[in-house]
Amino acid sequence: MKNPMATGSKLHADLEGKSVECKLYREMIGSLLYLTASRPDIMFATCLCARFQANPKESHLYAVKRIFRYLKGTKNLGLWYPENSGFDLMAYTDSDYGGCKLDRKSTSGRCQFLGGKLVSWTSKKQNCVSTSTEEAEYVAAASCYSQVL
């Protein structure tokens, strides 16, 4: 797989789908969450799949298996911390608007670099429902700014 999640597709509760074994699904999510410490490229997809641990369906299991197939093909990727880089602090953030079909909350992502080295990153659903794209971006930027401080 070239990316951990299919572009344009959004996971949802899938109430009509066939249920899968919760224990297996949770174990797979736990393994992926452990890997996010060194593979921030799977953070968003893993956290999205983790939302459905209470009642996982086949569509959710397929999404998790896609992440594992992505990892299998990208074994050489990971974090790299070069020597002798500066101490400039850079932060980036982005969000989607109403990305979760269940509660219409937006998802924010942010990362901070110190001297070109990734030192902090996160991807999570926002606490509030935004009424516009600009508001979702503002909430994401405020969260990133507080992390930088």
Pair of tokens at residue 55: 């009642």
What is the pLDDT confidence band of residue 84, given thresholds at 50, 70 and 90? confident
**Looking at per-residue confidence, does 96 or 60 come out higher?**
60
What lies within 8 Å, CB to CB, of 106 at 6+ separation is: 95, 96, 97, 98, 99, 100, 125, 126, 129, 130, 136, 139, 140
**The model's pTM:** 0.66
Q: Is the pLDDT of residue 99 over 90?
A: no
Nearest to 109, CA basis, from 78, 135, 141, 66: 141
The predicted structure's pLDDT at residue 21: 94
The predicted structure's pLDDT at residue 70: 95
Residues 97, 104: Cα–Cα separation, whole Å: 8
Nearest to 126, CA basis, from 116, 112, 138: 138
Domain residue limits, the chain: 1-78, 89-148
Q: What is the DSSP string of 61-74?
A: HHHHHHHHHHHHHT
pLDDT tens digit string along 22-73? Answer: 999 999 999 999 998 888 889 889 998 999 999 999 999 999 999 999 999 9
**What separation in angstroms does the CA of 137 have from each of 33, 71, 133?**
25, 30, 6
